[in-house]
Amino acid sequence: MVRKNELPACPVAVTVSLIGSKWKLLILRDLTAKVCRFNELKRSLVGVSHKMLAQSLRELETDGIVSRTVFEGKVPHVEYELTALGRSMDPILKAMAQWGEKYKKDNVLND
């Protein structure tokens, strides 16, 4: 978790500092729909490197937005899901999706 005195004064800047990267937003998009394993996220996020995905997930976990659960067994695996704090960002993601759809409809030329 980040210390309060390390956060920007502006609330929008706080949000951007936590989820403002392209990959973090797309990770949140995917985890809003379901719990995912690392490779599921990697396949979904076309162009993300292994290193960038791992780093983004670690940062989201550190900030309390994503939880990571390790399952031991013959084939150990890790699953990622949104925490309650992460799920509270759902309205933000929905608003971004609606805005993106409207932008595409109003500002993109049809071929």
pTM of the predicted structure, to 2 decimals: 0.85
Q: Which two tokens stand for residue 42?
A: 């990697």
Write out pLDDT tens, residues 18-56.
888 889 999 999 999 999 999 999 999 999 999 999 999
- Count how many domains the chain has: 1
Q: Which two tokens stand for residue 21?
A: 């990267």
- Amino acid 110: pLDDT: 62
Compute the average pLDDT of residues 78-93.
Answer: 96
CATH number at residue 40: 1.10.10.10
- Amino acid 20: pLDDT: 82
What is the domain range of residue 9? Answer: 4-107
Q: 3 falls in which pLDDT band (50, 70, 90)? A: low
